[in-house]
Amino acid sequence: MNATPSTLERAAARNLVKSYLQVQPDENVVVEAWTHTLSMSSAMVDEVRRAGGNAFLAYEDDDAWWRAVERHQTKALGRLSEPEWAAIAAADVYVQFWGPADSARLEKLGEKGLDEWGEGWFDRWYKLARRTGLRGGRMATGWVTDSRVRAWGVNKQRWKTALLEACLARPTEIVRNGARLARALTGTKKVRITHANGTDLEVALAGVPARVYEGYPHPRDRAYSEYDLMAHLPEGRLRIALDAKTAEGRIVSNRRSYDEIWFPWATYSGEFEFSGGKLTSFSFEEGEARFAENYARGTPGKDRTGSLVIGLNPHLPNVPFMEDKERGSVRLSVGRNTYAGGHNPSDFLGCLCVAGSEVSVDGTPVVRAGKIL
């Protein structure tokens, strides 16, 4: 693996360190790298030092990780060493790259294996971050792996380039558009989504505040849940809970959405039909069997609207796993919405995404053709 950063990686890292993570002189920054992320990790270390910060690179070797799995030591992988915990506790900023690279093999570990890996560090990390005010950022470039490229049928270099270019977005623009939308979506209002592809759906807001994810970490803001402490980079979206009693019409996707609960992650493209506040039917061009299986075993509330996500990033045109952050895109979910401040506790979560639609709030357009009005 070539650890020399490209020009684009250096530019993206500089914007992330300065504009989003806002590293200050003498701050301590931990960068956690995997084998396939060394070049971008190296760029992040460079920019931390350029900003006057103190960089510590923690490297996880893919081959060594998988040898531990082969020895049935998944639990041991979740037990971070005390020196690493000490480094995290002393850090002001933490940057994490997704890994390991063989995501298809990782998903084959199953729910039990993945839980064993995460249970030793997951909750402890978030509690520590909340207590210390740690500013965290997870790097989506770590998702660009050969196994995901094969599974999703995408071009690896175009995918990585698009993610890096999205990291160049100005957070001030995202903040400005997010605040404008949040104001428009305040209260218990009706929202209508229309598109020439047949989408025409009216839903209602639950009356809880919208959350804007602009790429800044929010370690001290209690409006954000514990699991929102890590900013996902690149970022740019608004999320708001929906009223579970109101939904009439149809939404037809023109972007992929993903099953983020059950492994292996499936991809979905299709449509939802609603009547009388309930999901009455669904059909898919992609992923129907998997969706139907998960839906059948879902708990009550699975047939009610959950949340609405509107994309805010101007540099994410139909990028894999980032479709809901494309400026003006709309992702509608059904099922659980407690993560967004709602009251639906269902264990089911499914969603569809449409870009280029018009969104109106109580009859006033707020999004049109990819632009925030």
**Domain termination site, one of 166, 197, 225:** 166
- Shared-domain flag, residues 33 and 155: yes
> Whole domain around residue 134: which residue ranges?
7-166
Domain holding 91: CATH number?
3.40.1830.10
pTM of the model: 0.93
**Is residue 208 in a domain?**
yes
Confidence of residue 263 (pLDDT cuts 50, 70, 90): low
Confidence of residue 129 (pLDDT cuts 50, 70, 90): confident
**Is residue 20 in a domain?**
yes
What pLDDT does 2 receive?
64
- Shared-domain flag, residues 124 and 207: no
What pLDDT does 113 receive?
77
* Cα–Cα distance list, 348 to 7, 261, 302, 303 (Å): 42, 8, 5, 9
- Shared-domain flag, residues 96 and 177: no
**Domain termination site, one of 137, 166, 195:** 166
- Shared-domain flag, residues 33 and 109: yes
* Structure-model confidence comparison of residues 112 and 212, the more confident one: 212
Confidence of residue 111 (pLDDT cuts 50, 70, 90): confident
Residue bearing tokens 């009439």: 248
- Shared-domain flag, residues 285 and 140: no
**Is residue 1 in a domain?**
no
What pLDDT does 261 receive?
62
Taking phi first (over 0 means left), then psi (-120 to 50 degrees means alpha), and beta for anything else, what does residue 116 get?
alpha
**Is residue 223 in a domain?**
no
- Tens digits of per-residue pLDDT, 309-325? 999 999 999 999 999 99
**Is residue 219 in a domain?**
no
- Shared-domain flag, residues 26 and 74: yes
Percentage of the chain with pLDDT > 70? 98
**Is residue 324 in a domain?**
yes
Q: What is the mean pLDDT of the chain?
A: 92
pLDDT greater than 80 at residue 206:
yes
What's the average model confidence in pLDDT over 185-209?
96
Query: How far, in Å, CA of 127 to CA of 226, rounded?
Result: 8
Sheet of 93-97, strands arranged across = 54-60, 28-34, 93-97, 135-139, 230-233
**Domain termination site, one of 132, 166, 200:** 166
pLDDT greater than 90 at residue 152:
no
- Shared-domain flag, residues 208 and 332: yes
**Is residue 224 in a domain?**
no
**Is residue 225 in a domain?**
no
- Shared-domain flag, residues 19 and 156: yes
Confidence of residue 224 (pLDDT cuts 50, 70, 90): confident
Contact 182, 208 (CB under 8 A): no
- Shared-domain flag, residues 249 and 118: no
The region of weakest confidence among 77-81, 258-262, 269-273 is 258-262
Rounded to the nearest angstrom, the gap between the alpha carbon of residue 372 and the centroid of all alpha carbons in its chain is 20
What pLDDT does 234 receive?
97
What's the average model confidence in pLDDT over 144-173?
93
Q: Is beta strand 278-286 parallel, antiparallel or unpaired with respect to 358-361?
A: unpaired
Q: Is 210 exposed, middle or buried (0-12, 13-18, 19+ CB in 10 A)?
A: buried
* Structure-model confidence comparison of residues 81 and 196, the more confident one: 196
Which residue blocks in 249-322 are alpha helix, DSSP H?
Answer: 288-296
pLDDT greater than 60 at residue 1:
no
Total domains, the chain: 2
pLDDT greater than 60 at residue 264:
no
- Shared-domain flag, residues 291 and 265: yes
- Shared-domain flag, residues 20 and 127: yes
pLDDT greater than 90 at residue 115:
no
pLDDT greater than 90 at residue 78:
no
What's the average model confidence in pLDDT over 357-370?
96
Which residues is 326 bridged to in the sheet? 313
DSSP string, 189-234: -EEEEE-TTS-EEEEEE-SSPPEEE-S---SS-TTS-GGGSEEEES
- Shared-domain flag, residues 74 and 194: no
What pLDDT does 260 receive?
67
Contact 141, 97 (CB under 8 A): yes
